[in-house]
A and B are shown apart, each in its own frame.
Chain A
Amino acid sequence: MTRSWGGRAAGLLVAGGVLLAVVLLSLVAGNQWFGPHDVYVAAADFTGSDTDRVIRYLRFPRTAVGLLAGAALGLAGAVMQGITRNPLADPGILGVNAGAALAVVVAIGLLGVQSLTGYVWFAMGGALIATVVVYLVGSVGRGGATPVKLALAGAALSALLGSVTSAITLLDLSTLNEFRFWVVGSLTLATGSIVTQALPFIAVGIILALTLGRSLNQLALGEDLAATLGTRIGLVRVLAALSVMLLAGTATAMAGPIAFVGLAVPHVARALVGADYRWILPWSLVLAPIVLLLADVVGRLVARPDELQVGIITALIGAPLFIALVRRRKLAEL
């Protein structure tokens, strides 16, 4: 692919077109296949038929969650890889998903929160706390928050939070049932109101993340050089952490911890447009929902009358892709 400005922009437009097509596919494909006209009727000329209701109340929210969660996870992964200069960074490695999931299980199991509108806040709080704790632990000692220390702190905290989560679910087996959703992500739980609630958080997170492109490019040169070039490293880290909290926390609250999207998509973007974060970020934003929605459509079709949760499909698709990427590109290249 061409690396000129025009080439990258045109490519991004094409990717946007593909995304639109995938959104339409997500609306028509499933247990029953519908036509584009059915989608139009359900949206603009609602008659209350079964088809209308399935599209409007099941597939619209599901597709919207796929769009938002996909964009959020892809972007969060790209930001984390940039800020930690760690090609294996993603919301999972830095403990963000584990924090969000634990907070949700506490909400369900100990505080008796029943509705999804309750989980959102717990998940974001958990993501924030986990991000801060990982950052603080990773910053202790000489050299500040180095990539390796951050990753180690994230892994350690993930393990700790995972143990606490297990302990809580062992207290009450009925919680365990509900917790399954928070182990592997799915797009099927969200409703229109959840999407509306989540939208502002995701939007702020996206805007925040997109402004970081230039700073991440400078950080990629090394912290000393970046500081010399005028990058306020501390501020960039805080903004990056904030955007990841908003993006990954809200995505987890809507769809559970979906793995590999945040890890794999930024690498695909990097392979397509090079190492410039001003391009990697928007490309991740567009590519990730394509991947997530396609994975969801596959999950609907392969196990009828049941469905495979989208998190299972992303792991199946994402893991080999990621291994291939790691093998092809030297890790030190970031």
Chain B
Amino acid sequence: MKTLAAAVVVLSLLTGCGGVAKAGPSATATTVKNCGIDVAVDGPPKRVFAAYQPAIEMAHALGISDRLVGTAYLDAEVLPRYAAAQKDRKYYKNLPSREELLSQDPDFVLSGFNDVFSSAGSDSSFGSRKSLSDLGVQTWIFSPLCPTADGKGDEAIDPSTVSMNNVYADLRDLGKLFNVADRAETVIADQQKRIAAVEAKVASAPKPTVAILRPGLEGGGLTVSGGPDFGTVLIRQAGGVNAFADLTSKRNVKISVEEFIKRDPDYILISGCCDATLTETQVQPDVQKILANPAYANLKAVKNKHVVPWLFAHHSAGVRGANSTELIAKLIHPDLVR
């Protein structure tokens, strides 16, 4: 009876949004809820696999670089302050297969995006979170990308969860799991301070519209960041509005070129992606293509040369939040933010 009562108490504790740690049977055992799934560890995980840029950078930010047994799929160069820590880590250019992942014997998989656990996702899916948990591998999806159920992907993101607060909640929860709570608080405080500083400066300024555009072919249409993309949050913090925030079916929304012209955003960020050595400089040719395309010549952003190279890594949820907010603010409010 006592156990049952204790279980009820624990369950009620776990229903909080960001998740709450509890003292388990052993001193270091911790359970935290992530995207509706209990993540339970007996002690700080020692063998962590980080998939995608945001996860890799968050691991470095939390100071657990030496616990990374594998890292995969960088979208761009890691932030300079993590470059040294990343240099010696085992790195996979593409996501490894489930078998390859398990061969690294991880006890924890930290993923910056939800598709690695999505059954409808990529061919290289690691399998559902439950299937990994059954093997003793705990998993984590960044909370701003929580699908509504295990095995689902981007189509099932709740837009209300897309926020910097959920990045902070992740940092706190991971801080508890990895026993690096102080480090997590330091990171959070830094992010909050920098973002608040930007928000204060741009608070009363007019809000230009900003489009984040993926270059490339994609069947001839264009791919832009829609409402559930973290770019929407970053643009808002920087004192602008995502020109495609009303399209909420997915993070990356396909639209026709004609629709893009009709919306005529004030600023266009060309979001280059998916190589461990990528920098903004390499995205410049895609900027030139937009500027040189006669179909786009009437766009405000083109006339004012407000088409700029950008990185996909910049608008992913994670510890780049403050950095990216500052970058966008400098671009769209150059007189207010320097």
Q: Could you tell me if A306 and B258 are in contact, using CB atoms closer than 8 angstroms?
A: no
Q: Are B297 and A31 in contact (CB under 8 A)?
A: no
Interface status of A186 (Cβ within 8 A of chain B): yes
Known: A54-B295, A57-B295, A304-B256. A180 touches B261 (CB 8 A): no
Q: Which residue of A lies closest to B247 (CB)?
A: A305
Partner of B262, one of A32, A177, A180, A181: A32
Q: Which of B94, B216, B259, B294 contacts A304 (CB 8 A)?
A: B259
- Which A-chain residue is minimally distant from B285 (CB atoms)? A114
| A195 on the B face (CB < 8 A) | no
In the bound complex, residues from chain A placing their C-beta under 8 Å from that of B259 are: 31, 304-306
Check if A186 sits within 8 Å of B219, measured CB to CB.
yes
User: Distance in Å from the Cβ of B167 to the closest Cβ of chain A?
Assistant: 26
B295 contact set on A, CB distance < 8 A = 53-54, 57-58
Q: Decide if A178 is an interface residue (CB 8 Å cutoff).
A: yes
Nearest A residue to B95, CB-CB: A173
In Å, the complex CA distance between A58 and B297 comes to 13
Give B273-327 interface residues, CB cut-off 8 Å to A.
Answer: 273-275, 293-298
- Residues in chain B near residue A180, CB distance under 8 A: 217-219
Q: Mark A39-57, 1 if CB is under 8 A from B, else 0.
A: 0000000001110011011
Residues of A within 8 A of B16 (CB): none
The contact string, 1 if C-beta is below 8 Å from chain B, for chain A 172-203, is: 11100110110010111100000000000000
Q: Is A162 an interface residue (CB 8 A)?
A: no
| Most chain A CB atoms below 10 A, which of B247, B258, B296, B298 | B258
Q: Provided the pairs A53-B294, A53-B298, A174-B274 are in contact, do residues A306 and B220 lie with their beta carbons within 8 angstroms?
A: no
- Please indicate the chain A residues that have their CB under 8 angstroms from the CB of B296 in the complex: 53
> A250 within 8 Å of B by Cβ?
no
Q: Within 8 Å CB of B258, what residues of A?
A: 30-32, 54, 58
The answer, yes or no, to whether A85 is at the interface (CB within 8 Å) is: no
A70 to B274, CA, bound (A): 35
- C-alpha gap A77/B323 in the complex (Å): 56
In the bound complex, residues from chain B placing their C-beta under 8 Å from that of A188 are: 219-221, 256-257
The residue from B221, B247, B262, B273 contacting A307, defined by CB atoms under 8 A apart: B221
Interface size on B, residues (CB 8 A): 27
Judge if A309 is at the interface, Cβ distance under 8 Å.
Answer: yes
Q: Which of B219, B257, B262, B274 contacts A309 (CB 8 A)?
A: B219
CA distance A186 to B219 in the complex (A): 6
Task: State the CA gap A170–B96 with chains docked (Å).
Answer: 11
Q: How far is it, in angstroms, between the C-alpha of A191 and the C-alpha of B337 when the chains are bound?
A: 40
Query: Residues 64-100 of chain B: 1 if any A CB is under 8 Å from the residue's CB, otherwise 0?
Result: 0000000001000000000000000000001000000
Neighbouring A residues of B220 by C-beta, 8 Å: 181, 186-189, 309
Given contacts A57-B293, A173-B274, contact A306 B253 (CB under 8 A): yes
Q: In chain A, residues 202-249, which have Cβ atoms closer than 8 Å to a Cβ of chain B?
A: none
A196 to chain B, nearest CB (A): 15
Interface residue? A300 (CB, 8 A)? yes
For A171, give the chain B residue with the smallest CB separation: B94
Are A306 and B297 in contact, with the CB atoms below 8 A? no
B257 closest partner in A (C-beta) = A58
Contacting pair B216 A31 (CB below 8 A):
no
Least CB separation from A53: chain B residue: B295
Please, could you name 11 A-B residue pairs with CB atoms under 8 Å apart, sorted by A? A32-B258, A32-B262, A48-B298, A50-B262, A53-B294, A53-B298, A56-B294, A173-B94, A177-B216, A305-B247, A306-B254
16 new A-B contacts at CB < 8 Å, known A174-B274, A304-B259:
A31-B258, A49-B298, A50-B261, A53-B295, A57-B295, A58-B258, A170-B94, A173-B94, A177-B217, A184-B219, A187-B220, A188-B219, A188-B221, A189-B217, A306-B221, A306-B259
**A interface with B by C-beta (< 8 Å):** 30-32, 48-50, 53-54, 56-58, 170, 172-174, 177-178, 180-181, 184, 186-189, 300, 304-307, 309
